[in-house]
Amino acid sequence: MSFDLDLIVQALPELLQSVLVTIELFVLLMLIATPISLLVALARVSSMLGLRCAAACYVNGIRCIPVLVILYFTFYGLPQLGLRIAPFTAALTGLTIGTVAYLAEDLRAGLTAIDPGQFQAADALGLGYWWRTRRIIVPQALPVMIGPYFTRAIVSLKATSMASIVAVNEVTGESMALLTQTYRALEFLTFAAITYLTLSAVLAFAQVILQRKVALP
Amino acid sequence: MKATLWVTRYDARPCREDIASRTGMTMIELAALSEHGAHESAVVNVAPLLRIKKLVKRYGPKTVLHGVDLDIPAGRVVALIGASGSGKSTLLRCVNYLEVPEPGSEIWLDGELIGQDARSTPPRLLQGAALRRQRSQIGMVFQHFNLFPNLTALENITEAPLAHRRATKAEARMQAQALLDQVGLHDKAASYPSQLSGGQQQRVAIARALAMKPRLMLFDEVTSALDPELVDEVLKVMLQLAQDGMTMVVVTHEMAFAAEVADRVVYMDQGRIIEDGPPGSILRNPRHPRTQAFLKRMLRTG
């Protein structure tokens, strides 16, 4: 028995469909998790004690629970509470909850890298909190944040494979389904691996471009 | 177009004629008083622009300011000197509440209590927009410039007026360009801080602080981080500002500058003001042994 490319060609419509599901899951995940993570990171460095504590509890609580367990919670647990949601939504929710905890820590590192003199100058000029954050702090934190951010994005991309366990037919799920139908593992697993490799490469490339864009003059 | 409309005189000092008419003193008497170091505004009991009362600041168990009192009339330039750790920078930072002083301390700017709500007893700390408005009336320049590196020189200057909705974008840019002209950097509007020398950065920082048309300017060792050959260009801008009538508190190690520009020199030691008077007498004939020792050290090193 050897590697049979024909198998992949025959299953291409389903496989490509599953790639789209992976991309959709990943893009939605990052679109939702990024702003929330930034808010959690800002809360982590806030001057308000209550906000700081709440954010620290969230981050430290969630990152000590396996993302897989969180996914089981949203998939099996929520319906038990009477919340009927589609597998895709359950997976997206679980992944978001997990990703935010990690991403917030990555972004916080960028925020704490800023010279305290910048805050003082902004305060002395009477700039408000959100103005200061939007115009001064975040733009300066971006160059520091961008590396860890894309590393986290790549980790999250691969984490979307866990959605297969809660009945979402993304690349891993579809490959496994085809594997059990055909008893051919190598072909479909190779396809799945190449898909993640390609998507990760796109992210790494995007990082290089963005890094140049947000670099401080 | 050469924009000139923003470059004007700041808060005028109470002019001698005015004081003479109010006190009935002759101009000659006033001039004589002034030469002896008396302050004209004290003579007529004009409320000072800046009044610091019983200013106490502690860091944990360490008290860095022991109930400092200081009055500065409008238009005056006060040089604050002293060894490092004497509390002079902390005093400056308490004036605009970058550091929050201990309860009971009072900072008054032109009759307005800074950082605290005078209507509540005991006064509550001011937050948010009210504090931001007060801070916008006090310009501050830092030792390490603290320009925003992600913004151009011009954008650094327009930032505060735009944040405070004091001007439209076009107005703010025009004013910023005029301020850059004023500090001798008319061709640096599009430069980023990293593309400017230390002296140029500090002049942009002064322009940035002036953009809100402050009543008072605070300078915190603004030439200490500069290469020696870049110090003069910054001092020149400050001298011009003083001549235009700006009220200034200048923490400095530049004794020559203090002698030339300041109306008054205040010597601080271990969180207290221990000598206060015209530069001529403080710098040449200090009375307090600590001031004498400090000045001797300064003359030797600087």
What is the reported pLDDT for A155? 96
Minimal Cβ distance to B136: which of A125, A131, A135? A125
Specify the number of domains making up chain A: 1
Segment B134-157 mean pLDDT: 97
Answer whether residue B36 shows pLDDT above 70.
Answer: no
Q: How many residues does chain B have?
A: 302
A85-99, B114-128, B152-166, B230-244: which range is least confident on average?
Answer: B114-128
| Dihedral (Cα; A209, A211, A212, A216), 10-degree rounding | 160
| Beta carbons of A118 and B208 less than 8 Å apart | no
Say if residues B11 and B75 touch (Cβ distance below 8 Å): yes
| CATH number, domain containing residue A162 | 1.10.3720.10
Q: Return the SS3 of A87.
A: helix
| Beta carbons of A124 and B192 less than 8 Å apart | no
Residue A188, domain extent: 5-213
Q: Per-residue DSSP letters for B206-255?
A: HHHHHTT--SEEEEESTTTTS-HHHHHHHHHHHHHHHHTT-EEEEE-S-H
pLDDT single digits (tens) B156-214: 999 999 999 999 999 999 999 999 999 999 999 999 999 999 999 999 999 999 999 99
Residues of A in contact with B98 (CB under 8 A): 120, 123-124
- How far apart CA B88 and CA B86 sit, in angstroms, is 6
| Beta carbons of B142 and A117 less than 8 Å apart | yes
Among the residues of chain B, which ranges form H helices? Answer: 16-23, 27-35, 40-43, 88-95, 128-136, 153-163, 169-182, 198-210, 228-243, 255-261, 279, 289-301
What is the reported pLDDT for B301? 65
What is the reported pLDDT for A3? 85
At residue B92 the predicted structure's pLDDT band, cuts being 50, 70 and 90, is: very high
Answer whether residue B12 shows pLDDT above 60.
Answer: no
| Beta carbons of B142 and A121 less than 8 Å apart | yes
Residues of A in contact with B133 (CB under 8 A): 126
Q: Which residue does chain B place closest to A121, by CA atoms?
A: B146
Q: Which residue does chain B place closest to A117, by CA atoms?
A: B146
What is the reported pLDDT for B24? 47
Q: Which is nearest to A174 in space by CA: A186, A157, A192?
A: A192
What is the reported pLDDT for B5? 36
Q: Which residue does chain B place closest to A132, by CA atoms?
A: B163
Minimal Cβ distance to A127: which of B149, B150, B159? B159
Most B-contacting residue of A125, A134, A146, A214 (CB-CB within 10 A), to test interface: A125
Q: Return the SS3 of B269.
A: strand
What is the reported pLDDT for A57? 97
Instruction: Tell me how close the Cα of A39 comes to any Cα of chain B, in angstroms.
Output: 20
A11-20, B212-221, B278-287: which range is least confident on average?
Answer: B278-287
Segment A1-17 mean pLDDT: 89
Say if residues A114 and A140 touch (Cβ distance below 8 Å): yes
Most A-contacting residue of B98, B150, B208 (CB-CB within 10 A), to test interface: B150
Q: Which residues contact B208 (CB under 8 A, 6 or more apart)?
A: A125, B147, B156, B157, B159, B160
User: ipTM of this predicted complex?
Assistant: 0.85
- How far apart CA A91 and CA A97 sit, in angstroms, is 10
Instruction: Tell me how close the Cα of B135 comes to any Cα of chain A, in angstroms.
Output: 5
Q: Which residue does chain B place closest to A216, by CA atoms?
A: B150
What is the reported pLDDT for A121? 97
| Beta carbons of A118 and B148 less than 8 Å apart | yes
Segment A13-19 mean pLDDT: 95
Minimal Cβ distance to B194: which of A117, A136, A217? A217
A25: its two tokens: 């899951």
B261: its two tokens: 């520009």
pLDDT single digits (tens) A121-167: 999 999 999 999 999 999 999 999 999 999 999 999 999 999 999 98
